[in-house]
Amino acid sequence: MTDYVRRALVASATPPAQAAAAQLADLGDWVEPEEADVVIALGGDGFMLQTLHAMLERRKPAVPVFGMNLGTVGFLMNEWRHHGLEDRLSRAKPFKVTPLSMTATGIDGRTLTLPAINEVSLLRETRQTAKLEVTVNDRVVLAELACDGILVATPAGSTAYNLSAQGPILPLGSGMVALTPISPFRPRRWRGAILPDKARIGIRVLDPGKRPVSAVADQREIRDVAQVDICMDRARELTLLFDPEHALDDRITMEQFAA
């Protein structure tokens, strides 16, 4: 049993989340997220990602987050209930989530490093097919991939965009990342790879002037990139809390059997 004394409450701007926050407001003395032992997040998966990114920016990734779904999908959230929060927190099961680190270099030479909890994706910006060179640990594994794009997904993000692109579902704790093409044209039969999460992945844009490509780390986009380097950022591990009967690892496993 863990006693989370100082608690923060954050909610998305949607009417359901704001109404839920009003119901919880009188349950105790809430503190600001940077002062909290635990954060209660109300919203959907998009808001959960915003909350986690805000914690990374404040350099407070060790603070666990207990989310309750008041959005659409809620894969990263628990069921919304306004009662029993004290008991749920005491019984909650923690899961560690390691984000990716994306370093993108633009065609103008600028460089920006961003975290990604679900995935890093590269996408063509125009009607022109993207042409990409892919390296793993500095070894060229695909000299030219013609496609709409490519993505690298964590286990936590493998059931999101990655699954929609026909990528594999990765169990939590698998120590793997998914490298998944988006509408590959050539090599036509290449459907991606599963790599150790220690791997360093590099993606170089071929002919970026004629075939511009953008890079997206979860919800943040950088346009006109020339090179993107991706690796795990183990120094900024995050903790999500789940009801034992609705835990993230079991949810990811069962997603493999969804119709």
pLDDT, one tens digit per residue, over 121-161 is 999 999 999 999 999 999 999 999 999 999 999 999 999 99
Residue 163 annotated as binding site: yes
Domain 7-98+237-255 has CATH 3.40.190.10: no
Would you kindly state where each structural domain of the chain is located, as residue ranges? 7-98+237-255, 100-234
User: At CA 35, angle to CA 32 and CA 39, rounded to 5?
Assistant: 65
Residue given tokens 């220690």 in the structure block: 198
Question: Do the annotations mark residue 148 as ligand-binding?
Answer: yes
Of 26, 29, 45, 243, the catalytic one is: 45
- Give pLDDT, residue 61: 64
User: 22 by DSSP, 3-state: which?
Assistant: helix
Closest residue by Cα to residue 247 from 161, 166, 153, 173: 173
Active site residue 37: no
175 is in an annotated binding site: no
The answer to whether residue 1 scores a pLDDT higher than 60 is no
Residue pLDDT, tens place only, 45-54: 999 999 999 9
pTM of the model: 0.91
Ranges of H-type helices in 28-128 = 45-57, 85-91
Inter-CA distances, 40 with 29, 49, 194, Å:
13, 13, 33
* CA angle (167, 193, 227) in 5-degree steps: 95
Reply yes or no on whether the pLDDT at 95 is more than 50: yes
> Is 100-234 a domain of CATH 3.30.2310.20?
no
CB neighbour class for 127 (10 Å; exposed up to 12, middle 13-18, buried from 19) = exposed
Q: Is 156 annotated as a binding residue?
A: yes
Q: Was 161 annotated as part of a binding site?
A: yes
Q: What is d(CA 30, CA 128) in angstroms, rounded to the nearest whole number?
A: 51
Q: How far apart are CA 150 and CA 165, in angstroms?
A: 9
